[in-house]
């Protein structure tokens, strides 16, 4: 087994990663597939935290577009992330991997409230932590939540798992001539307005010197052991 490039990892994925083939809801098989990848990382003694979006269940922006107040729509979206987090936790527990959901949004009957010191302790014991409930406040994306949690747990890297194998200058599904970047700086991502993460998340990672590795969800392991896999966003030259 190749040696990982990082020890403590914050994985950010969209809710669509857990969706049914129809593109919505939670698919147990998708949860299990992701859990198998995470278990492999756990068995390599990596410290893993996960942030999942809620778009497979509810998108706050869609709520706003039909007339909802933004805080209400965002809170519904946060609740959707809790559903996804619990679903992934159950898949991990089926595989025998210790996992815990910690939420910034109060739902203590079903998940723990996020507590920084406890999170660090559990990570050191190689539990997989799933951070849900966003930041607990409206007007922030799960990208920003992922960057914030990565800074709090002192992650070595923020890995963004996507449908493609890195960052491109155009949508590779729509443009066959799209070019993939091997490396980028935070500033280049912001200046080129590349769709890596939102600007607040990019700025937060830059301020805390947390590199961002963008890889395909199907190549998570390869992305953390091979520097040539995916796209690395950091402060260094690109």
Q: What is the pTM of this model?
A: 0.94
Instruction: Write the pLDDT tens digit of every residue in 12-48.
Output: 999 999 998 888 899 999 999 999 999 999 999 999 9
Judge whether 84 lies within some domain. yes
Q: How many domains does the chain have?
A: 1
Residue pair 165/178 in contact (Cβ under 8 Å)? The answer is no
* Domain annotation covers residue 47: yes
- Give the other-Cβ count within 10 Å of 69's Cβ: 11
CATH number of the domain enclosing 95: 3.40.1160.10
176 located within any domain:
yes
Q: Residue 2: inside a domain, yes or no?
A: no
Q: Does some domain include residue 219?
A: yes
Judge whether residue 195 has pLDDT over 50: yes
Determine, yes or no, domain membership for 37. yes
Over residues 167-179, the pLDDT tens digits come to: 999 999 999 899 9
Q: Is residue 1 part of a domain?
A: no
Locate the DSSP E strands across the chain: 8-13, 47-52, 99-103, 112-113, 128-132, 157-162, 167-168, 180-181, 183-185, 212-216, 231-234
80: in domain? yes
Structural domain containing residue 61: 8-234
- Determine the average pLDDT of the residues in 78-105: 96
């Amino acid at each position: 087994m190749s040696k990982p490039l990082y020890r403590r990892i914050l994985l950010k994925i969209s809710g669509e990663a857990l969706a049914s083939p129809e593109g919505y809801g939670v698919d147990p098989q998708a949860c299990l597939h992701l859990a198998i990848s995470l278990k492999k990382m756990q068995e390599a003694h990596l410290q893993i935290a996960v942030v999942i979006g809620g778009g497979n269940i509810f998108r706050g922006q869609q709520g706003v577009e039909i007339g909802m107040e933004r805080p209400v729509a965002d809170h519904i979206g946060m609740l959707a992330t809790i559903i996804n987090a619990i679903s992934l936790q159950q898949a991990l527990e089926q595989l025998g991997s210790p996992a815990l959901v910690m939420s910034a949004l109060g739902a203590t009957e079903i998940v723990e409230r996020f507590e920084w010191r406890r999170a660090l302790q559990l990570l050191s014991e190689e539990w997989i932590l799933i951070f849900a409930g966003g930041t607990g406040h409206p007007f922030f994306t799960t990208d920003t939540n992922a960057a914030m949690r990565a800074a709090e747990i002192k992650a070595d890297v923020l890995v963004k798992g996507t449908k493609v194998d890195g960052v491109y200058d155009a949508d590779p599904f729509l443009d066959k001539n799209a070019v993939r970047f091997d490396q980028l700086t935070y500033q280049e991502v912001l200046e080129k307005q590349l769709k890596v993460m939102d600007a607040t998340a990019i700025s937060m990672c830059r301020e805390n010197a947390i590199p961002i590795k963008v890889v395909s969800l199907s190549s998570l392991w390869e992305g953390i052991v091979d520097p040539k896999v995916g796209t690395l966003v950091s402060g260094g030259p690109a």
